Amino acid sequence: MPYPHFPKECTSALCRHLTPELYEELRDKKTRYGYTLDQLIRSGVDNPDSSIGVYAGDEESYTLFAPLLDPIIREYHRFDPRTQRHVSDMDPDHLQIDNPDPENAYILSTRIRVGRNLHCFPLGPNLARRERLIVECMVSDTLRTLDGELAGRYYPLTGLSEEDRKQLIEDHFLFKEGDRFLESAGLNRDWPEGRGIYHNDDKTFLVWVNEEDQLRIISMQPGGDIAQVFTRLSHAVTELQKRLTFAFDERLGYLTSCPTNLGTAMRASVHIRLPKLSKEMERFHAICDRHELQIRGIHGEHSESEEGIFDVSNRRRLGITEVEAVRQMAAGVRELIEAEKEI
Ligand code: ADP
Ligand code: ILO
């Protein structure tokens, strides 16, 4: 493939960092699992409205294609992969935060998820059909060994009725289908085979299998008790870590297919109703920027807000511990609530 064409309105990290010279330098490189530059950048080339535009195919992508990926990582996370090291801290005793909305007036629900991938396999964009099925089998077998609050059932996507699937998506428990960014990255190959969802009866603990990452481990519940949600997640991750080896790098933390998820691979969010502040978007954005928070719509990434309800979460995931990221989110949410009350 020649150097890709990016339309002039394109602002993705990919088009800003991939110069023709860099393309020439990297175009013939291939990881041991056979992943190439063209595969790495495919999503951003097909979707010029991408914000990032790249997906790694395996652990080695992060070293082989570092001349392109490092600057993207540095810009997104404010973390220099050449000189810094990621530190993890998921100890709930270190968190020490109060519910920012004890009267239950603003926060509808809290959700914290981490992405994980198995050390011995390529990442999703480069996972062969047979490997995906093995990952599904390994992960679902492991999930079946969890007990107590984490005990639940695995539901393969192929076995879910259309009605149940739609309801799970509508209720914010399940991933959507047909995301065009993931499609171009090769993450939707052989869909729906090999994908599924595990959850406990209360749907407070869930695991997505073989979506963007091989595991998305999720803790969620109504209201704003962020500490309780984090404690459950931490417990679940500790249990799973005893049974599975996750891809981890000293510099980059937990390895994920999208570089925005590296490090903690954690997104801690609240669904929060801010009808007044949402009429003053400049102020809303200013508070979020100050606390490095990201605003998403009510149905997740690339969706719109409805009825003044927003998904507010930590933006950085690398170079910050899990505890720090949750604290940062809680502090920002507290300020958003103050602003809403004041208006
Ligand atoms: P991810 O968080 O895994 O990166 P998305 O942004 O697509 O992916 O969100 C996945 C789903 O989780 C969506 O249905 C979204 O509405 C839901 N969700 C996110 N945060 C919350 C929350 N705090 N409460 C309830 N549902 C949430
Ligand atoms: N590839 C998409 C999404 C980037 C960040 N979101 C993730 C990891 N789901 C883009 O470049 O806009």
The domain spanning residue 332 has which CATH number?
Answer: 3.30.590.10
CB-ligand 1 contact for 314 (6 Å cutoff) = no
Closest-lying ligand 1 atom to the alpha carbon of residue 300? 6
Nearest-angstrom CA–CA distance, 254 and 45: 26
Q: Residues 70, 198: one domain?
A: no
Q: Whose CA is nearest to atom 7 of ligand 2?
A: 258
Q: Residues 62, 176: one domain?
A: no
Q: Residues 191, 312: one domain?
A: yes
The tens-digit pLDDT sequence of the chain (343 residues) is 789 999 999 999 999 999 999 999 999 999 999 999 999 999 999 999 999 999 999 999 999 999 999 999 999 999 999 999 999 999 999 999 999 999 999 999 999 999 999 999 999 999 999 999 999 999 999 999 999 999 999 999 999 999 999 999 999 999 999 999 999 999 999 999 999 999 999 999 999 999 999 999 999 999 999 999 999 999 999 999 999 999 999 999 999 999 999 999 999 999 999 999 999 999 999 999 999 999 999 887 777 778 889 999 999 999 999 999 999 999 999 999 999 999 8
Beta strands 248-249 and 215-222 are: unpaired
Q: Whose CA is nearest to atom 19 of ligand 1?
A: 300
Q: Residues 37, 158: one domain?
A: no
- Rounded (5°) CA angle 262-96-332: 60
pLDDT at 300: 77
Tally of domains within the chain: 2
Q: Residues 72, 101: one domain?
A: no
Q: Residues 45, 158: one domain?
A: no
Q: Residues 47, 170: one domain?
A: no
Q: Residues 39, 161: one domain?
A: no
**Which residues are identified as catalytic?**
113, 212, 216, 258, 260, 267, 296, 301
Q: Whose CA is nearest to atom 2 of ligand 1?
A: 267
Q: Residues 67, 108: one domain?
A: no
Q: Residues 42, 102: one domain?
A: no
pLDDT at 213: 98
CB-defined site of ligand 2, < 6 Å: 43, 50-53, 181, 212, 258, 260-261, 301
Q: Residues 187, 288: one domain?
A: yes
Which ligand gives the minimal distance to the CA of 168? 1
Tokens at 88, concatenated: 């993890």
Which ligand gives the minimal distance to the CA of 40? 2
pLDDT at 119: 96
Q: Provide the residue range defining the domain that includes 257.
A: 92-342
Longest dimension (CA), the chain: 58
Look up the CATH number of the domain holding residue 30: 1.10.135.10
Query: Of 47, 77, 107, which closes a domain?
Result: 77
pLDDT at 301: 79
Q: Residues 300, 192: one domain?
A: yes
Nearest-angstrom CA–CA distance, 210 and 194: 7
Whole-number Å distance, alpha carbon 57 to ligand 2 midpoint, is 15
CB-ligand 1 contact for 195 (6 Å cutoff) = no
Q: Whose CA is nearest to atom 10 of ligand 1?
A: 300
Beta strands 266-273 and 309-314 are: antiparallel
The residue among 95, 124, 125 whose CA lies nearest residue 112 is: 95
CB-ligand 1 contact for 219 (6 Å cutoff) = no
Whole-number Å distance, alpha carbon 129 to ligand 1 midpoint, is 27
- Assess if residue 72 is contained within a domain: yes
Whole-number Å distance, alpha carbon 30 to ligand 1 midpoint, is 34
